[in-house]
Amino acid sequence: MRAIGYSEFGSAGDVLALHDIALPEPAAGEVRVKLAYSGVNPSDAKARSGSRPGVFKPAFDLVVPHSDGSGVIDAVGAGVDSARIGQRVWIWNGQWQRAFGTAAEAIVVPSEQAVALPDEVSLEAGATLGIPGLTAAHAVFGGGDVTGQILLVSGGAGAVGHNAVQLAKWGGATVIATASPSGFERVKAAGADHVLDYRAPDLAAQILELIKGRGVDRAVEVEFGANAALLAEVMRANGVIAAYGSQIDMAPTLPFGPLLFKAITIDIVLVYILEAAPRAAAIAALHKALTEGALTPAVHEIMPLENAATAHERVMTAGRNGAVLLKI
């Protein structure tokens, strides 16, 4: 079967290549999915480039990247109900700690990692649910019901942030989002009650004025280090910061005093290692929002499998409006 892979770290154009590899067979408890789409995420590009601290070479001789995808089950291993054959599914953790991900014509995964896709949801949308979808759902609902709460979503125009705005509004929250001015209308259309320029020098004052000094109940944060001081100022006592990224400052100095005297909880979100119960809750929330028409995952661009290098470059380019997919 056709698959995109790499054997060494480097730039996308230098190391990603099309390979012909054996069609995998499912073992006990596994399913094989004939893939329709592969979701490309910044984490895939970072892993391929070798930017992970302390990692100097790929863990496998050939890595087929990407954790997200969607398709149709065409074979099952022992112990898996044969009725699953023909089922439309989406994939989570396709390449997490494994050699072969979704940038291929097929993938074999444990049965639970191929989630039945609701009839109302397209395969394109399904390929966005693994990392952007689960991250947004857990960041918004990981503490439970958000009805009546004030949620602050940073990077509301990004793939995770855009999903989070929609989910938080659907969940009954008042949503304040930050974005670049070019993304304001898109974020408002997603349901944000207020959209503010993330670069505004008086951003904290603007947020506090909007909420009459009450304080933010929960923050969905893409740049924790860069925004730590701001968050300490605008969060309410006993509020929660659900941080899923900190690319600008990966070793931040925290304003511990303000965080301490508000008893702020910092919830670091990494969906790859979510335990079973919170993952099931996030999946249920995603499916319910999707089937009720409250969530429309944005897709920026769909490319053929052979254009994987371009897709890797695209996900790392500012101004992207949604997920980048490879059509298999």
Sign of torsion over alpha carbons 200, 206, 211, 215: positive
Percent of the chain with pLDDT over 90: 97
Domain ranges, ordered by start, for the chain = 2-128+298-327, 135-272
Please name which of 128, 124, 154, 125 lies closest in space to residue 139, comparing C-alpha atoms: 154
Q: Is 135-272 the same fold as 2-128+298-327?
A: yes
On whether the CB atoms of residues 288 and 310 are closer than 8 A, the answer is no
Q: 99-111 burial by CB neighbour count: b if 16+ within 10 A, else e?
A: ebbbbbbbbbbeb
pLDDT band at 260; cut points 50, 70, 90: very high
Tell me the per-residue pLDDT of 62-110, one tens digit each, with 9 for 90 and over.
999 999 999 999 999 999 999 999 999 999 999 999 999 999 999 999 9
- Encode pLDDT of 143-171 as tens digits: 999 999 999 999 999 999 999 999 999 99
The CATH number, out of the four listed (3.30.360.10, 3.40.309.10, 3.90.180.10, 3.40.50.1260), of the domain defined by the range 2-128+298-327: 3.90.180.10
Q: What is the pLDDT of residue 213?
A: 85
**Class of the domain covering 135-272:** alpha beta
State the average pLDDT over residues 273-298.
Answer: 98
| Band of residue 52 on the pLDDT scale cut at 50, 70, 90 | confident
Q: What is the mean pLDDT of residues 158-185?
A: 97
